[in-house]
Amino acid sequence: MKIFSFLTASSIILIISANSMDAGQKATCPNIDSAQSKSQVAKKVEATPGKQILFFMNPNGHPCQMQLSILDSMKDKLSGLATIKYVKTTEADDQETFYAYGVRGLPSLIILDKNGKEIKRFTPGIHNEKDILSALKNPDK
């Protein structure tokens, strides 16, 4: 009975908040052309001599903190192989990158080649050191 009451209350709150928007007001989401925005975002991503790992994260989320500790422990092994760019939900400037790459689940890792082309996208979740290093060395697998 408690679950039913909670679900009912939650539904009512959602309906009220949806109805409280002005009739002409719409929820905003940037209108982004994926190919165009990726190239614009790629220009913002620093050129690197090697591969780059885009780490999409929420700094306050436990799974993202776990993935961060794995990446931090790999810094010596990544030296000369790849650099890490942190894309955070808490940074307003990073929102465009989330939209451009279509990232909706966290933590997410995307590997780019030295030209900024996406060569590997991991499924959202925590990935171990072995899988990340393997993907950097053999992105086709």
Domain boundaries, the chain: 32-137
pLDDT classification of 42: cutoffs 50, 70, 90: low
The token duo for 87 is: 């894309």
The token duo for 38 is: 């990726």
Residue 27's pLDDT is what? 40
The token duo for 80 is: 């000369």
Give the residue from 74, 76, 70 showing the smallest Cα distance to 125.
70
The token duo for 17 is: 């908040």
CATH class of 32-137: alpha beta
The token duo for 16 is: 């009220």
Residue 140's pLDDT is what? 77
Q: Is the dihedral of CA 29, 63, 125, 3 positive or negative?
A: negative
Provide the β-strand partners of residue 111: 53, 120
The token duo for 45 is: 């991503």
Average pLDDT over the chain, rounded to an integer: 80
pLDDT classification of 79: cutoffs 50, 70, 90: very high
pLDDT classification of 15: cutoffs 50, 70, 90: very low
The token duo for 99 is: 């939209």
pTM as predicted = 0.71
Mean pLDDT of 132-136: 97
The token duo for 137 is: 């060395």
* Higher-scoring residue by pLDDT: 45, 95: 95
High-pLDDT (> 90) share of the chain, %: 61
CA dihedral 85, 89, 91, 97 (to 10 degrees): 60
